[in-house]
């Protein structure tokens, strides 16, 4: 009985983590009026790294990390920065409303394909059907059908495809490293790596943080603590527990949480697609978890 209860608790934590990722879209959209994108990235991961120090101390986890794992962690930091840049570039140059559909749909599909390619195995018909069902659910949630074909097939939307590929690679690398180091320790060094790389090469500190009001600070703290410290760490722990392909399927839930929270806090409309697409995304996740556990 204990193991099924633990599994149920972890799945609930994963769903909550995807709510955190959805919330990050809302926080970033709000903070972009006060900070530059690279400032948001820097302060987000700086606060995240700092917040993880007491967690690691409380859990009594070792800070030691092998040189090979450290190098892979730095690679992960670079991939995360590249992912963020590609997504932002796609939003600016491509069809912004399609970013959520392209990225969240392609992440599990590309992760499953890359996992199968690396392991020299074929995807089952059930897995292929589930991936297609999840893609349909996400596209319905985001009402992709309202876009013109010219908007969907713009060359600039390739940024979204590359962003999804970056995250799929990051998921696989993280799952591999998780076998050599505690996921929370790995997460800490990765967040620290993002902070250092951003400070050295990308961020121009042009904004006076003293001018930020209470609400921007609250959004920045929630972005760091809930959407990153909690949500992304749970995701990487899941990579160790479930495997890269199974954990990536949960990203089908991100658009639902992002749109729901945007409606709640930013007064954006809720569409009929949420009611139709969410059950499809949930069914896809259930099918992928069942098929991959056999």
25-40 tens-digit pLDDT: 778 778 888 888 888 8
Residue 9 maps to a domain: no
- Domain residue limits at 174: 34-292
Q: What is the pLDDT of residues 93-145, one digit of tens each?
A: 655 555 555 677 777 777 878 887 877 777 778 877 877 877 777 677 666 66
Q: Indicate whether 43 pLDDT > 70.
A: yes
Select from 154, 44, 45 the least CA-distant residue to 99. 154
Residue 3 maps to a domain: no
Residue 180 maps to a domain: yes
CB distance 103 to 157 below 8 Å: no
Residue 205 maps to a domain: yes
pTM: 0.74
Residue 18 maps to a domain: no
Residue 107 maps to a domain: yes
pLDDT for position 1: 40
Which letter, b or e, does each residue of 75-100 get, where b requires 16 or more Cβ atoms within 10 Å of its Cβ? bbbbbbbbbbbbbbbbbeebbeebbb
Residue 22 maps to a domain: no
Residue 276 maps to a domain: yes
132, 151, 152 from 145: Cα distances, Å: 16, 11, 10
Q: How many domains does the chain have?
A: 1
Q: Indicate whether 261 pLDDT > 70.
A: no
């Amino acid at each position: 009985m204990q193991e099924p209860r633990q599994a149920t608790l972890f799945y609930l934590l994963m769903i909550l983590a995807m709510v955190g990722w959805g919330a990050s879209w809302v926080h970033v959209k709000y903070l972009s009026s006060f900070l530059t994108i690279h400032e948001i990235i820097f302060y987000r991961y700086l606060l995240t790294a700092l917040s993880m120090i007491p967690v690691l101390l409380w859990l009594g986890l070792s800070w030691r990390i092998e040189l090979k794992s450290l190098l892979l962690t730095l690679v992960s930091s670079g991939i995360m920065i590249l992912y963020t840049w590609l997504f932002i570039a796609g939003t600016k140059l491509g069809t912004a409303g399609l970013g959520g559909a392209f990225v969240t749909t392609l992440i599990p599909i590309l992760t499953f394909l890359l996992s199968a390619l690396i392991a020299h195995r074929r995807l089952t018909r059930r897995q292929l059907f589930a991936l297609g069902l999840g893609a349909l659910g996400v596209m319905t949630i985001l009402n992709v059908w309202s876009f013109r074909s010219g908007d969907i097939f713009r060359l600039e939307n390739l940024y979204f495809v590359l962003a999804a590929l970056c995250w799929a690679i990051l998921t696989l690398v993280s799952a591999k490293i998780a076998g050599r180091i505690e996921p929370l320790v790995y997460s800490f060094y990765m967040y620290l790596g993002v902070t250092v790389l951003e400070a050295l090469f990308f961020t121009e500190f042009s904004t006076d943080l003293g001018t930020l009001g209470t609400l921007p600070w609250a959004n920045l703290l929630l972005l760091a603590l809930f959407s990153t410290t909690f949500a992304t760490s749970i995701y990487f722990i899941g990579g160790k527990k479930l495997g890269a392909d199974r954990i990536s399927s949960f990203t089908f839930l991100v658009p639902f949480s992002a749109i729901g929270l945007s409606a709640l806090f930013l007064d954006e409309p809720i569409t009929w697609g949420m009611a139709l697409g969410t059950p499809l995304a949930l069914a896809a996740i259930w099918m992928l978890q069942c098929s991959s556990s056999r």
